[in-house]
Structure 1
Amino acid sequence: MLDGLDDIDWARLGHAYGAADDLPGHLRALRSPDPETRDEALVELYTRIVHQGGRFEASAYAVPFLLELLADSGTPDPSAVLWLLTGVAVGSDEAVLPDGVPVAAQRRVAEGGRALLAAKPPPWSGEDETQKEYVEYAYVDSLDAADQARLWAYVELAAYDAVRAGVPLFRALLAHPDAGVRTGAAYALAWFPEEAEGSVPALAGALDAASSPAVDAAVTPAEVATLLVASGLLGAAPDPRWLADPRPIVRCAAAIGRARVLGPQSDPATVDELMRWAATPASQGARAVPGDAEPAGASVPTRPGDADPEDRSALTGPGDADAAMPGGTGPALPDEPADGEWVPFLGGDLAGYAGLALRQLGPRHAARGLGALLDRLPTVSGDQSLTVLGATLRLAFPDGPVPAGTPVSALTPEQRRLAEVLGRSTAPWLIDGQEFGNVAMLLHEHGLPDDRAAMRAYLTGDA
């Protein structure tokens, strides 16, 4: 088991904190019978090879061993290994939703990156941290912006392609006896459109099996929902019958998958389901049952800094959020709820994902979509606020940002409605009760005031 692990010159490879010579020990620890040891190893691997959603030179080298662990029935926690592999493949999925991985574009950007990586000096290694030299950081900093983009794209693509080799294994795991592994396998398959020809039938077979009365009790709603979203991301629209499923998250997933494939040609039932979920208050959570009394959006409310060499490698990619991770330590991926309704996409924020998917419906539904998002915006904070606000800004500013200092009277009605909702709402500005700088930055980039007091003054003409 793990043959060849010590044959790699890990000290010449870099991860988020420098030389990767500590990775073999962490990889071996994933087979430990002690859960605490495995959890510690998982934390260390996440922070080193998927730090803040970025991938590193050593990330791709770790993947074959992770795949070997995943395939071995003696590995104690295969679902944890599966989530880690998916993180290595795509980093943070928020960066590629709602459309999926634009792998063809990434391959174009990565052209020339291999030579740049080959020219990189090996990372510093040694015992005395006071003598540490950030040679990788200095090398990357010496490149111009275009070459840095090529280098990062190549590093991340190498990690992605290493995980892609596991697609046949992921398909096989759709029949695993553990629901968490089956769900993770469907989630992993969603990110490899170049493998859709074989993955779509595998997902369809799993959906057929999930519909069988003989196995229905063992299949969780989250598993079915993940299969439906994954199918859509690979270009196969879920059957419309799923829109009538009694389980709310299954209906939502079907609508998300159908919108991904059908776009502006989406049927009214798909559109209505997306709108209801996009308007769902955050207090109802990702497993909410959106109300059906009034169509969502029918009423409109009235009037990334410089790299830090002290804690991360210069070879980080453009990711901006820690990769999802099970176990409750480090960058957390929530454990699947007991009732099996946690869907892994967008960290479990299914309502937020529905909001992102609204743009796939095209301009005909833009006004209604904006209304739905504005219904939800006052109730969200933190990362959910960023998701909803980003989707709302896209609809309210279809032609791009306005110049800073644009008077409120010059805003479009849609832009003014957004400003008014933000002016009278507290939650969207906050993360864990503190001002959320990312929200301020996003608004500033669109020409709007970047704190609530300034927004209120702007609306009253006192700015």
Structure 2
Amino acid sequence: MVAQVDPLAGLNEVEWEWLVHAYGAAKDVPANLRALRSRDAQVRHAALIHLGSSVTHQGSRYSASAPVARFVAELVLAPETLDRERLLDFLCALAVGIDNDRLPTGVPIAEWRDEAAQVEAEREALIAGATEWADSEMKRGRERELWLRNPFSGLATSPDTIAAYDAARDALPRLGRLLGSHRSVERARVAYLIGMFPESAARTVPLIAERLDVETDEHALTAVLIAHGLLAGPSATLARAARFLDDQRPLVRWGAATALARASAADSRSPGRPTIDILIESTVHPDVPDLRIHDGWIGSYAAKSLASIRHWLTAADIRNLADRLPLTASSFNRDHLLDAILSSAFPGADHAANITLDRLKPVQQHVLGAVLPIWKSDDSWMSTIPGALARHGLTCSRSEIEAALTTGGTA
């Protein structure tokens, strides 16, 4: 009988008291990692919530994040582990932060590495700043030393970010075995995770492509299509994903269209009418939380994909999208759809521009006419609509738009 390897072996060898997360010293991490192996589901859940809120707080990574990622990867691979799909979600958060921000363009890892290198070059200046802060806050002894040892805390991209990303990437060759798991939810989660590592594409794209030929589960196949679009070249995606545009399952069609839109944007080629039509239809798709991709906000992701291929949208497409604004599943989805519509209807405009309301094109009039009723129903100081309009050159009031639509614009 082969002895099982303890996935938490070496846990006590890490100097957790000198590492930090969002709430200070990471001394509480070992107990929470051990709790992930509890037979009590509530204990596991509480530990995962605590770890997630501390070492991936609002998408940030800290000095404790990389060692946590290494142990979480080992837990995912341990045969007796429970809640493996949730740990895969957590590992994805450790690697890339809030994954919604990585879609549909993928992880810009080259940019991250350049930014982290620049931050590393400023280490001494950051330590000097931490020293000044510690002195001003009367920090003494170990507490002062803790912050001087961790000068990158709170930075969006830093060596801590890269260390956490690479810790997950190092485990990718072994994690890829889960593509053959008997549990479809695990296959879906690991396929999506793999899509976050473009530097490993030469090794992982063949595995993903193989799953396209054999995967039957709707969620897992959708995740595989998304991963293929993120990793493979445009020609390979076109060759392998196009056949799924005719699938009977709407979610699979959306996954294929998303992958093809990504290929189209990357290669500056037309995505084709079927891809556009499926994405337009998907903007009002009900949320699918169990899918986990983009938190299951299918409509939001479809809108972001459409924005990436907006140069191929016709005036009829833009009108169609505008008419769908009231049908979106949530205000979050609506906001992304509104951005896609405005970027298509007002190409080249931004916050520095100033759109002349008396020379609106017919499609622009239609868009603003669709926005007005929603703006009226969302008339609060928290409304995101004025900001969305301003980002696209429309720094005007609701009454000004109403007046312009009453008098009409010129084509």
**Alignment counterpart, residue 224 of structure 1, candidates 199, 221, 224:** 221
- Deviations for 1:198-257, whole angstroms, at most 9, x for unmatched residues? 1111112222222xxxxxxxx421111111111111124133221111111111211111
Find the counterpart in structure 1 of residue 231 from structure 2. Answer: 234
Deviation at 1:173, TM superposition (A): 0.5
**Alignment counterpart, residue 49 of structure 2, candidates 31, 40, 43:** 43
The AA in structure 2 aligned to 1:225 is T
Deviation at 1:39, TM superposition (A): 0.6
Runs (5+) with no aligned partner, structure 2: 1-5, 406-411
SS of match in other structure, 2:347:
coil
TM-score (normalizing by structure 2): 0.81
- Deviations for 1:123-156, whole angstroms, at most 9, x for unmatched residues? 99xxx9xxx989959x979x9xxxx97x724332
| Residues 179, 117 of structure 1: alpha-carbon distance in 2 compared, 3 angstrom cutoff | farther
Give matches, 1:62-73, under 5 Å. Answer: 62-73=68-79
Counterpart-to-counterpart distance in 2, 1:427 and 1:231: 41
Deviation at 1:439, TM superposition (A): 4.7
Find the counterpart in structure 1 of residue 276 from structure 2. Answer: 271
**Alignment counterpart, residue 399 of structure 1, candidates 337, 348, 354:** 348
2:307 is equivalent to residue 359 of structure 1? yes
CA RMSD, Structure 1 to Structure 2 (Å): 3.3
SS of match in other structure, 1:100:
coil
| Residues 247, 421 of structure 1: alpha-carbon distance in 2 compared, 3 angstrom cutoff | same
Q: Which has the higher contact order (CA 8 A, sep 6+)?
A: 1
Higher normalized helix content (fraction of residues):
2
The AA in structure 1 aligned to 2:83 is D
Runs (5+) with no aligned partner, structure 1: 211-218, 288-333, 337-342
Deviation at 1:372, TM superposition (A): 3.7
Give the fraction of aligned pairs with identical amino acids, expressed as a percent: 31
Deviation at 1:429, TM superposition (A): 4.0
Counterpart-to-counterpart distance in 2, 1:83 and 1:459: 46
Compare CA radii of gyration and give the structure with the larger one: 2
Deviation at 1:386, TM superposition (A): 2.5
Deviation at 1:379, TM superposition (A): 2.7
**Alignment counterpart, residue 292 of structure 2, candidates 313, 321, 344:** 344
TM-score (normalizing by structure 1): 0.72
Counterpart-to-counterpart distance in 1, 2:302 and 2:258: 6
| Residues 367, 344 of structure 1: alpha-carbon distance in 2 compared, 3 angstrom cutoff | farther
SS of match in other structure, 2:173:
helix
SS of match in other structure, 1:67:
helix
Deviation at 1:64, TM superposition (A): 0.7
Find the counterpart in structure 1 of residue 246 from structure 2. Answer: 244
Find the counterpart in structure 1 of residue 27 from structure 2. Answer: 21
2:13 is equivalent to residue 7 of structure 1? yes
Find the counterpart in structure 1 of residue 161 from structure 2. Answer: 156
The AA in structure 2 aligned to 1:252 is W
| Residues 443, 159 of structure 1: alpha-carbon distance in 2 compared, 3 angstrom cutoff | farther
SS of match in other structure, 1:45:
helix
| Residues 444, 240 of structure 1: alpha-carbon distance in 2 compared, 3 angstrom cutoff | closer
Counterpart-to-counterpart distance in 1, 2:358 and 2:230: 41
Contact 1:207/1:227 (8 A) holds in 2: yes
Deviation at 1:103, TM superposition (A): 1.3
Counterpart-to-counterpart distance in 2, 1:428 and 1:14: 45
The AA in structure 2 aligned to 1:158 is A
Count residues in correspondence. 378
Find the counterpart in structure 2 of residue 285 from structure 1. Answer: 286
2:315 is equivalent to residue 375 of structure 1? no
Find the counterpart in structure 2 of residue 53 from structure 1. Answer: 59
Could you tell which deviates more after superposition, 360-369 or 264-273?
Answer: 360-369
The AA in structure 1 aligned to 2:107 is V
Counterpart-to-counterpart distance in 2, 1:398 and 1:386: 18
Contact 1:408/1:459 (8 A) holds in 2: no
2:90 is equivalent to residue 84 of structure 1? yes
| Residues 111, 386 of structure 1: alpha-carbon distance in 2 compared, 3 angstrom cutoff | same
- Deviations for 1:157-206, whole angstroms, at most 9, x for unmatched residues? 22211111121123111111111111100110111111111111111222
Find the counterpart in structure 2 of residue 459 from structure 1. Answer: 402
Deviation at 1:373, TM superposition (A): 2.8
Contact 2:321/2:341 (8 A) holds in 1: yes
Counterpart-to-counterpart distance in 1, 2:163 and 2:385: 32
Contact 1:386/1:438 (8 A) holds in 2: yes
